[in-house]
Every structure is written in structure tokens, then in C-alpha cells.
Structure 1
Amino acid sequence: MEVSSVKDIDVRGKRVFLRVDFNTPLDEQNNVSDDTKIRASLPTINYLLEQGAKVIIASHLGRPKGQFKPEFSLKPVAERLMQLLNRPVKLAEDCIGEKALKAVAGMQPGDIVMLENVRFHEEETKNDPSFARQLAQLADVYVNDAFGTAHRAHASTAGITEYLPGAAGFLMEKEINYMSKALESPERPLLAIIGGSKVSDKILVLENLIGKVDTILIGGGMANTFFRAMGYSMGNSLVEEDKLDVAKNTMDKARAAGVKFMLPVDLMMADKIEKNARHQLVPVDKVPDGWAAVDIGPKTAELYGREIARAKTIIWNGPMGVFEIDDFAKGTNYIAHAVAEADALTIVGGGQSVQAIRKLGLTDRISHVSTGGGASLEFLEGKELPGIKALEKKPVAVK
């Protein structure tokens, strides 16, 4: 997937519209509680500043649904960015119109203006051409560093490229390069660990990976549907009864493609999915009535660990169980440590797997932790992402 790089554009003295994904969580005091996404775009921001660009930052925050809502203002995000950069960041009162134009007027090289939440306007998510044109009027060049929004064809991620030359920021480049390498030219064995609660959420990922990977390890609630398709009783476990044929076909396709498709051999069961619930370990063919599967068991973890240890490229998306509850997080934690210790190119994507890696302090031991939940999932599904496609449209003014 070829996109132009910010390094190829002459940004000296130019107004650069930088789309980032600063959709960060805020605490009760309305301060940024996790600045991971902000830090992820610092290399691009610092590069633009070093090159003498006038940096105009745009992002969304939450889902204000086209209305101005103070709780979704980017003010706390601008304040956190100012702390990280140790330089002024001016927050515009709007992202288009007179207020935005006034905020960027008179900018000098090295200045930073953050536009107010682009989703305060419903035209943003509708990819309205007029709105996109108004955004473009603020700048000379467009740089997209928001991989987390690349699966959305919005005005600030796609439409704006009709009016400005565009390129990818360093974070966007990194995401594309790591994911593309893993899927298109991996060092083998290539292993995919796919978890989560539902087969329906990951079926397109599985279909795209079959034929590309050597081994697939299945965990989480989605394993229950595969077991049910094999004729096992799953008690009160989450099972998508309408997806049994899909599950069976997936296993048949993997077998036909020569892909090693592995399911748990033992499960942690609970009488209730809550803290301090009674729980017990059982083989997959001995699930008791009235109990629900909440995690993979230790035999499965050990079995999966051996597969992880021999892999040279690893993609992990989705937890092994209800990891939010400590008693049911052991399987996910085991897999996280195994991936971190592997002598392999490792990519972790998807909100919950990333949460697990961060919670355990293993982020620095993973080759690439994706910032895009839905975007990384759709990339793994083999879908064309509008935010990336938009950067391929036309040549940019190169140095």
C-alpha cells in the first residue's frame, strides 16, 4: 500500500492541516487520563515544527453528534499537548468559519493551533464536500496521522484530500508498514491469535487470514460457538446459535488451506460472570450445565504458548476471556507475556488486547501496538480503508 510520506512534502513556512486521533479518555476533573494517542503523534508534530511549518491540528473527541457540547471540547487535550511539547498550543473556538480563520491568521512558523472538535458539525461524519472545503481553506498541505479513524470516510479524513495535497504522518506510515508486512511478506511461521466474544465480529478477519497465516489460535467467547458447531454442550456460555454454520465453514476452510486452527482444550467456567463468582476448570467436552466459559485454561495457555514461542510473526487481536475480572484474566495475561517474550515481529491490535498489554506494562516489548481499534480490525479483514485510500489519490508537491 503506497502512500506519500510527510517527509516527501515541502512544509517549510506552510500551513499544515494535521489530522490526528486525539480521542482520549478524560477523568472526572476533565483532564486527559490516558495520553497514549497524543504521544503517538508527537514524532510527526515535532518533525513539522522542526521544518518550520505552521501546524493546524484537527481531531474528534467522543460522539457529540453534530452539536457543540462543552464536555467534548478539545480544551483538555490542547492543555496536555502543551505540557508534552512545552510550548503554546492555541485552541480555536471552532474548526471552520470566521473563528477558525481568525485563529490561524498570522500564524508564524513553529506555531500550533488546535481546532475545536470536528464532530461538533454533523457535516464531518457525512463527509460533506462544502465542510471539507472549509477545512481545506485553513491550510496549504494536508497530513493524516490518524490511523484510528482511517476506516471512516469523513470530511477531515477523506474529503479534504480533494482540495489539498495529502500525505501520511509517521504514525500512519508505521501502522500501514507493520500491518502490511505482517500480511504480505511475513517471516514465517505467521501466527494469528484471535479472541473476543463473538464469531460475527471476527469472521471477516478469519476469512482473510486463512491462506495467509500458518496457525490461528482462538480464544474468548467466540470459541464457544466453534465448540457448539462441533456438537459440544456449552452450558450458559455465550454462543451465537445463528453462526454455527459460519463457524463450521471457517474450520473447513482452514483445514482445506492447511492452516493449523487451534481451539482451547480446557476452559475456566463460572457460575456467574462477576467478581468473586464460583469458578472451576473443565475439559472442553465436560462443560457443566448452568455454568459459563470465562477464560481459557492453563493447559490451553501452555499449548498456545508453545505455538507463540516458535512463531516469527505474530498478530494478536482480542482477549482470551473476560479479562476485566482478575479471576478470569489469567489466560489473557499468559498470552500477553508469551507474545512479549517471543523472538518475533509482534503486532497487537484491538482495544482490549492493547489494554491487557498496557496493564501488564509490556508495551515496550511489543514490536507494534496499534492505535486503531476498528481500523486495525478492518485492515486485518482486508478492507480498503478510506483514510488511507484518500492519501493515494494524487501526487503531492514534493521537495
Structure 2
Amino acid sequence: MSISVSRLQTPIVVTQGPQLMLSKSHLYMKAYISTTAGDEVSVTNNGTSAVFYEWRKFNRSDFIKAKRSDGINRFYCHYGRDVLLPGETKRFVFTFSSEKPGNFTEEWDLLTDPLLTHPIKQLTLSGEAYENDGYIAQRHFFEEELTRRTVLHTCEEILSDITRSVRTPTPPPPDLEDPKQCQEQFESKNLHYQVWHTTDVIKMLRQLESWVVEHIPLEEHFEPWNLSIDHMKELISLVPKIDLQHRYIERLNFIVKLAKEKPLYRSIYWEDARKVLVDLAEEIPVISSKIRTELDIEDYRFCLPWELTQEEIDKIQKEKTDKEVARAKLVKGKKINVAEEMAKDREACKERLFASVKEKFIDLFVKVLDEEPYMFLWNHMETMHLTNVLPKILQNTNRLNKHMKNSNIANYKIASNSIKTMNEVNMGELSRKYGINEADMEGKKVMLRLNLDVPLSEEIWEEEEVEVQNDPEQDPVTVIEKHCQPREIIDATLLKNAVPTIRYCLDHLAKCVIIVANLGPRVGNNREEYSLLPVAEWLEQELDQHIEFIEEIEIENFDERIEDLPENSVILLENMSFHPAEFGYSIDRDENCYHVDLDKINNFRRKLTSYYELYINDCIGPNTCMETLFKDTCSWRNPGCSSIECPEFEGEAILGLNLEKEIKGISSLFHEPERPLLAIIGGNHSSKINLLDKVVMMYNLLYQVDKIFLGGDMALLFFHVMNSLPSTFDPHLNQFVQRVIDFAKELKKPIILPSDFIICEKINPPEELQLDFTWAHYSDKYQPCKIGEPIPEGWAIVGFHEQTAEKLNSTLFESRRFFWCGSLDLHTSNKEQLNLLNKVAIEFFKSHKESRELHIGIFDVEESFKYLVQENNQNSTERILNSDEEEEEVEEEEEEEKTQEENSEGTVEQNQNSFDHLFNHRFNGGPLTVAILQGRKIRPLELIKEHLPPRPKSAEEDTSYLEII
């Protein structure tokens, strides 16, 4: 072996054959992002033959997965292919450049021809790309905030240590002899029994206590009865004789059963009914006096005989005789019996008095019914306020004695009232409800509760003579019977919405699908004009399957009735509104109302429960019977809806496709939302939700949203309450609005109002052009108006101007999640002046929904901006308006009508697609959605099966502290 020396005087071992040597096997380069760094390696041919070489990056089969590479080249070799002669040395420069920061590593191989005698090492390239730290300021603020919170937490701990050692006097026990405190204690301690306090019940329980105490041995130590039924059971258990124990338990159960009956004076209608009767009693003397004066009859004197002297009695008798004589003189030339005439007048007075008092009573009663929604919703808001205030009361132990009474009342109201404020817990419960895709329905009888209250064609009655044989010994009697002709379905939207759920059940091999639904008024007896037979015929055509229509509702031996039906059949029961136990009453055609006993209602629900093994609730729409399910169920006016509440007794209840979409849409919008969350509330003449419901909805939304923007009639209502504008709104709304304003200030959440208006002169629109537009659409005089400026007489506010539009745009830009309910403009029109705010919102969502990943839900607004979603809507509207001028012949009219129908259907489909693309959720639940957003507990939703809540995190799993860091 020979040895040679290079120019650097480094000894090189010469190898026989092809052989190369690397100066180093690892290169490290460091540079700012988007700049270049380099390093080099020397390769020496220490063999005896020339070598052709090529540098190539080494890629393993699992390279991307193992190194998590993004496939971007960051290392480069210059002049990486050539030949190396024996004894020759070459330098190879490698460069590194990256567009993003990080550490990157690659392996490169030196491929040779011929192969080397001894292999050489791989060359490892490491690169580090870095950038300037742009979060120095944020870290500084985070550290300051962390320091501030640490100091605050330390102060709270010190203060807690100090206050923990402070002892206040033990509050005295409640005075159980006081009727009010006795009522509070009795009902708060026995909430799970759902009992009511009455004097008779407490008296019987006290008597039972005395009997029990007499038989308890003296050596037993026990506390006196504290008004708890469970405590009374403990006292009875101390009685040594078993027969006495059984007797006292039976007595206690009987008293508890009596206590569960709600006292009449505790009804929510008691005060109103009492007020009606008192007002009526005060009006009766006035009505009676007026009638007796008109009929010239002596007035009543309310006094006892012994309270009058003989002179007063004689004077009264003389006045009566003089009146009868004067009456007889009026009838000249006729002999009359004055006593008979006076008796006739008195009978006429009684009849007129009865009719007048009845009319007055109806007026007073109707007035109370009109005020009932205000009373109910005000109590609901008060209870929600208690849920917010009660924890603060109970937390302050120093004031516990002072507020013991208030806390007991609050606990009772919260437990007895149906409230569900909008918070993470309640929204999480909604999101965990079982949907139809989570149920196993193969081979099961499925009951499907639908909303099929479709509009029908006009009633047409036919008379038919029928011979009836009442007595076999007599001739038949001819009777005229009336029958309603079959009616047609005008709008099948609800039926089309129900078809997917029916198909889903059939596709998943349900044994049979039993459909129950309501149609028409809730009368509780058979009305042939509202039969579900047209619905059965429509479903038969749509599903292309026989529909078994059963004209009965309460069916004995239901399984035997359907055993001959094929598998996967569809059964439609007759209109549930025909059964008196569905809503708890029946109304005949003479408007007489008869109420059903609660036991009969429960038996009817149990009968419905026996029909099915799986219950699916898909009852959703503008009139879904849900509005009866959040009021006082003890009321004769609202016993509930049996076909919705029957899962209370037995069976698994789940959500249908439409109801699930509504419920999961609400939960996804409000459960753990991205912040800020903005609520946009408005309304105009086309809104289906009244202002009262929207104000209460606002109160509940304040728990969850970060800010609220008001437009439309809601903005004018709030301006009116704040004395900024005159208005004709219902004065009952003022206290509701003021409560919302106060609650928003308490939570420090802003309510954003418009800054300026558009006004115009009031005009009467031309009759031939009145479509969906209001009178403001046809006015030509519009002008801006600032808040506080006087509005000229004969002019009215019709919209909002540019400053309000700019405020809305900036408010939208600051938010990430949105709930929009009601039009922001006051009038429906395609004019830009009258659609300014709606257009600003639509354009904002169109421009930023995808780029900023906005999450938007809308409710009750489609009708107000249907002219804004599609660009060609205005042209289609003009085409409809001008269609009358283009018609010349009858054939052309028919063709144009068909064309217009096709165009209108196409426009509806385009609007539908545009809505779905622009908004994440469109809520269509009507009363159901309003009730949820108002924080009311809905019994049908409570009966739906629910997944278990997620397991709370352990101390090791909880990483919430990272939010602070």
C-alpha cells in the first residue's frame, strides 16, 4: 500500500480500486426565514480508479410519515454530478432556505459508479429557520395579568381566612305557628312529594303527630316533627306495635294524597277570577239601578225592617202607592191591573239584568284572558331573576337569617316552575338528546307523532234525506243529514317535511309505523270536515304504499287489530283532536265545553303507550301543540297534549329528523359558542313572533350572548320606553322592556340601538298594486331624521339611515357567531331605502361567512328579505306586477300563468338553496323554538332519551390553567 500527501499535508490512505472519503458527515445551517445559509463538505478520491458520482437525497418509504415532512425542498446541492479522478479533492456546497420557522433534517447519499470498495457514511443535513419573536408584547401582558390574578387570589384567600373565623349568632328556628312560615317550610321540605299547604292538611298532620307520640316508648329519643313527611315516617317507625304503624302509615298516605290536590286559591287564575267577581259585584247595583230607572220601578232599599221607624215605613208605602196611581193615569180610557203591570216590569227587569250582567261578566273575563300572557311571562321572568339572585343570597351566610324566607320561596318557585335558562348545562342537555339515527327500530312498532295541521279547501256541505226506523211497529221517519264533501289539501309543505322521517322508519325495517297527529280546531269530538282521510290519500300516493287508515283512536286489543297487516306497514289513526282526552275537554257544535277528569286523561295516555315500542316525536311547525306544554298543567285550560306526553308512562322516546335538526341547531349555536356572540333582534308586520315573546327571549339570551343589536319594531319599542320616541305600543310591554334594560346593565352587556331614521309622508297605496309591500313602498318622499328631532305631523318612521347601517356593519365585523330573529327594517319592500339594514347584514354574511368562518342562525326573517337573497328577485317581481298588461288572449293567459308558476317554484328553490348556503341554521319550530329561547322547560323534550353527560376531568386531565398561561 502506498501513501500520498495532499496539498493540505493531510495523510491519505490510498486504497486499491474505487474509494472515496468525506471530510465530515454532518452539516448544520441556521438562517432567518426566507434567507439562505450554506455549508460545504470535501470529497477525496483516495482510490486508484476514477469514480462517477451523484448527490441524491435519501427518501425512505415511510419518510413523510416518520419525519412529518410537508414535501417541500429546503436543502440544495450545487454541481452534484460529475467524475472524480484518483487523488482529486472537490468541495460541494449545500444551501438551506425555508419559508416557515422550524428545525429540518435530511439525509443525502453519494451514489457512485463503479461501487466503492468500502461504503461511506450518509451525509446528514440539519437546518434551523427562525424569525423575530412577535409575541413579546402579548407575553408581557399575559405575565402582568397572571401576576394580577395571583395577587387577587392571594388577597381572597387571606380575606377568606379572616372571615372564616368570624362567627355570627345562629339564626333562630322558623316559627312554625306562623301560617306563612309554616307554608314555606312545609312546601320547601316536601318538594319531592309535590304537596300543597292548607290549614286542614297541617291540622290533620298535627293530630297524627300527637297520636304517634303517645305510642312511642319513653326511652326513645326523637326530635319534634319539623313539617317534613319523611320525618313523620321516621316517627311512625318508632312505634313498637306493627299494626299501629300500618294504620298510621295509611293515615299519612291519605293525608299526602289530599295535600297533592292543588288548592283553588293557589291557582295562578285565582286572583284574576276573584278580581272579575269583585268587579262584577260592584257593577251589578249600577246596572240594576239603571234598568229599574228606565222601567220606572222602585229601587231596592237594603235595610232591615227593625232599622226603620214607622214614619219611614209609611213614607215608603206612600211613595209606592203614588207611583202606582201615576202609572194608572198614563193609560187613559183603559182598565189595567197595576199589580200585574208591575209584575211584568219586574220580570222584564230580571231578564234585562241577567243579560246585562252576563255581557259584563264576559267582557271582564275576556279582558283577563287577554292579560294572561303578560301575567304568565312576567312570572316566568321573575322566576328566572330568582335563579340568578338566589345563589348570591345563599352564599352570604351573614344574611342567611334575614333572607331565609326569600330563599325558601325562591327554592319553591324554581322547583315548581318550568324554567331552563340559557347556560352551558341546559344547552348541553339539548345536544345530548337521542336522534332517530341512534335507535334500533328493526322489528318494532314505532309511533310517530307528526304535525299534519295542513290547510284544507273550503267546506261544502250536502244534505241527504235518510229514513230512520226508530220503532219497528211504526213507519220509518225521514231525517235530513248533512255531510261534508271530501276536502283537498291546499298546501302540503308539512306533509313533505314529514315524509323523510316516515321513509327512514320504513327503510330501517320497522314492523309498523303508527302515525298520530292533530288537524284543525281542538274540539274533542268527531268533526268529519277535519278528518285525516285526505292526508292518508296524499301519503299513499307519495310513499307509493298502502296506508291503513283507522277511524278509531282508542282501540281495544290493538295488537290483534294489526296482526294481519304485512311487515313494514304504515298505520294512520284518525285525528287525535277528536278524542276528548287529547286536550282534556270537548266542545260541541253549540260551543258548550265539557272537561275530562285527569284520571281519564292518564288512562288514555296509557292506552296510547300500549300501541308502540318506540316513540318518535317529530311534531314541529308553526302550530305544534307545544304552546300548551309550558303552562300550569293544573289549569282546566291546559291539561296537556296526550299524544305528546304519553312517553311519560312507558317506552323509549327519541327525536324525529325535523325536530332533531331544530334542537341540535339551537344547541350547536349556543353551546360553547365562539366569542363574541351577537344577537340581532328586530321585527315588522310580517313577523310571526310578537314583541312580547321577543322581549322575554332577549331577557334569556342575555345569559349567553355578548351583545344585542336592535332594529325594526323592537328598536322603536325600546326608544319609546326610554322616552326618546312617541309610540302606540301596548303599555303592558313597558315593564318587560325596563326589566331587560336593567338586567343588561347588571350583566354589563350592551344593547345597541339605531342612530338615525328615515321618515316619509303617510299615503294610501294603490289597490291594484298591493302585493306583499306595505304603504311605505309606494311613497316617493323620504328624508333622514336624527334621534330627538321632531317628526312632522302626517309623517312616520319607515326605516333607518346610513349612520345606523355603519353601526350595524361595525358590530357585525366584531362578532364571530350570530343569532338573527326578525327583520331589521320596518317595511317589506325591494327598495334600497327601506331595506338598508337587512341588505347590510346579508352582504356582510355573503362576503365574510367563508373567509371568517362565521356561524349564523336565523329565525322568523325569511319573509322580510326574500328580495335580497337572489339577485334576480327584483326582475321576477316586476314580471309579476306587469303580467296583467301582457295578457291579451285566454290561451296566452293560461300559458303565462303556467310559466309564472314554474318561475315562482324555481325562485323558491333558489331562495331555499341561497338560505341554506348563507346560514348555518334556519329555525322553523314556531312556539317550540320560542319557548326554548325564552328559557322555558318543554315537557316533550324532557321525555326524550338523553345521553349521559361527559365525565368531569380529573386533576391530571384538567388543563384549564393553560388558558391563563
- On the 8 A contact 2:434/2:947 being kept in 1, the answer is no
Pairing 1:224–2:716 present: yes
C-alpha deviation, 1:299, in angstroms: 4.8
C-alpha deviation, 1:189, in angstroms: 2.2
- On the 8 A contact 2:693/2:930 being kept in 1, the answer is no
- On the 8 A contact 2:758/2:798 being kept in 1, the answer is yes
C-alpha deviation, 1:221, in angstroms: 2.0
Pairing 1:314–2:837 present: no
* Corresponding residue number in structure 1 for 2:501: 44
SS in 1 for 2:571: strand
Compared CA separation, residues 305 and 102, structure 1 to 2 (3 A) = farther
Structure 1: stretches of 5+ with no match in the other structure = none
Structure 2 residue corresponding to 1:62, chosen from 508, 520, 537:
520
Compared CA separation, residues 91 and 332, structure 1 to 2 (3 A) = farther
Compared CA separation, residues 38 and 250, structure 1 to 2 (3 A) = same
Pairing 1:353–2:861 present: yes
Compared CA separation, residues 313 and 71, structure 1 to 2 (3 A) = farther
* Corresponding residue number in structure 1 for 2:915: 363
Compared CA separation, residues 273 and 116, structure 1 to 2 (3 A) = farther
Pairing 1:11–2:441 present: yes
Pairing 1:140–2:617 present: no
Partners of 2:433 and 2:716 in 1: CA distance: 40
SS in 1 for 2:861: helix
Pairing 1:188–2:679 present: no
* Corresponding residue number in structure 1 for 2:941: 388
SS in 2 for 1:143: strand
C-alpha deviation, 1:227, in angstroms: 0.5
Partners of 1:15 and 1:261 in 2: CA distance: 51
The 5 Å alignment of 1:108-123 reads 108-123=566-581
Partners of 2:667 and 2:434 in 1: CA distance: 15
Deviations 1:275-315 (A, max 9, x none): 44546453343344454445445653454344345533221
Pairwise CA RMSD of aligned residues?
Answer: 3.5
Compared CA separation, residues 340 and 17, structure 1 to 2 (3 A) = farther
Compared CA separation, residues 374 and 325, structure 1 to 2 (3 A) = farther
* Corresponding residue number in structure 2 for 1:93: 551
* Corresponding residue number in structure 1 for 2:747: 257
Pairing 1:376–2:881 present: no
User: Which range moves more in the overlay, 13-22 or 239-248?
Assistant: 239-248
C-alpha deviation, 1:52, in angstroms: 0.9
Partners of 1:65 and 1:339 in 2: CA distance: 48
- On the 8 A contact 2:696/2:736 being kept in 1, the answer is no
* Corresponding residue number in structure 1 for 2:835: 330
Equivalent residue letter for 1:52 = L
* Corresponding residue number in structure 1 for 2:666: 179
C-alpha deviation, 1:215, in angstroms: 2.2
Partners of 1:101 and 1:285 in 2: CA distance: 72
Partners of 1:147 and 1:222 in 2: CA distance: 26
* Corresponding residue number in structure 1 for 2:697: 205
- On the 8 A contact 1:32/1:77 being kept in 2, the answer is no
Equivalent residue letter for 1:232 = S
Equivalent residue letter for 2:916 = D
Pairing 1:130–2:603 present: yes
- Structure of higher RCO (CA pairs closer than 8 Å, 6+ residues apart): 1
C-alpha deviation, 1:105, in angstroms: 4.7
Compared CA separation, residues 144 and 354, structure 1 to 2 (3 A) = farther
C-alpha deviation, 1:142, in angstroms: 0.9
C-alpha deviation, 1:226, in angstroms: 0.9
Partners of 1:42 and 1:357 in 2: CA distance: 28
Partners of 2:802 and 2:565 in 1: CA distance: 59
- On the 8 A contact 1:301/1:334 being kept in 2, the answer is no
* Corresponding residue number in structure 2 for 1:106: 564
User: Which range moves more in the overlay, 265-274 or 237-246?
Assistant: 265-274
Compared CA separation, residues 373 and 252, structure 1 to 2 (3 A) = same
Partners of 2:866 and 2:648 in 1: CA distance: 34
C-alpha deviation, 1:213, in angstroms: 0.7
Equivalent residue letter for 1:77 = V
C-alpha deviation, 1:11, in angstroms: 1.3
Partners of 1:255 and 1:165 in 2: CA distance: 44
| TM-score, reference length from structure 1 | 0.82
Deviations 1:144-169 (A, max 9, x none): 12244455342111234313222222
- On the 8 A contact 2:453/2:518 being kept in 1, the answer is yes
- On the 8 A contact 1:59/1:118 being kept in 2, the answer is yes
Percent of aligned pairs with the same residue?
27
Pairing 1:246–2:749 present: no
SS in 1 for 2:503: helix
Equivalent residue letter for 2:741 = M
- On the 8 A contact 2:449/2:618 being kept in 1, the answer is yes
Deviations 1:109-151 (A, max 9, x none): 3221222222222322248212222322322221112244455
Structure 2: stretches of 5+ with no match in the other structure = 1-428, 459-486, 585-597, 630-639, 685-689, 766-773, 870-910, 949-965
Compared CA separation, residues 155 and 371, structure 1 to 2 (3 A) = same
Partners of 1:245 and 1:110 in 2: CA distance: 55
Compared CA separation, residues 122 and 393, structure 1 to 2 (3 A) = farther
Equivalent residue letter for 1:19 = R
Compared CA separation, residues 34 and 319, structure 1 to 2 (3 A) = farther
Aligned residue pair count: 390
Equivalent residue letter for 2:605 = A
| TM-score, reference length from structure 2 | 0.37
Equivalent residue letter for 2:915 = T
- On the 8 A contact 1:19/1:146 being kept in 2, the answer is yes
Deviations 1:57-92 (A, max 9, x none): 122223243233344333343444444434333433
Equivalent residue letter for 2:923 = S
User: Which range moves more in the overlay, 43-52 or 82-91?
Assistant: 82-91
User: Which range moves more in the overlay, 161-170 or 200-209?
Assistant: 161-170
Deviations 1:88-108 (A, max 9, x none): 334332433369878745333
C-alpha deviation, 1:206, in angstroms: 1.0
- On the 8 A contact 2:825/2:838 being kept in 1, the answer is no
**Who wins on radius of gyration, i.e. which is larger?**
2
Partners of 2:676 and 2:506 in 1: CA distance: 41
Partners of 2:433 and 2:741 in 1: CA distance: 36
Structure 2 residue corresponding to 1:168, chosen from 648, 655, 659:
655
Partners of 1:39 and 1:163 in 2: CA distance: 30
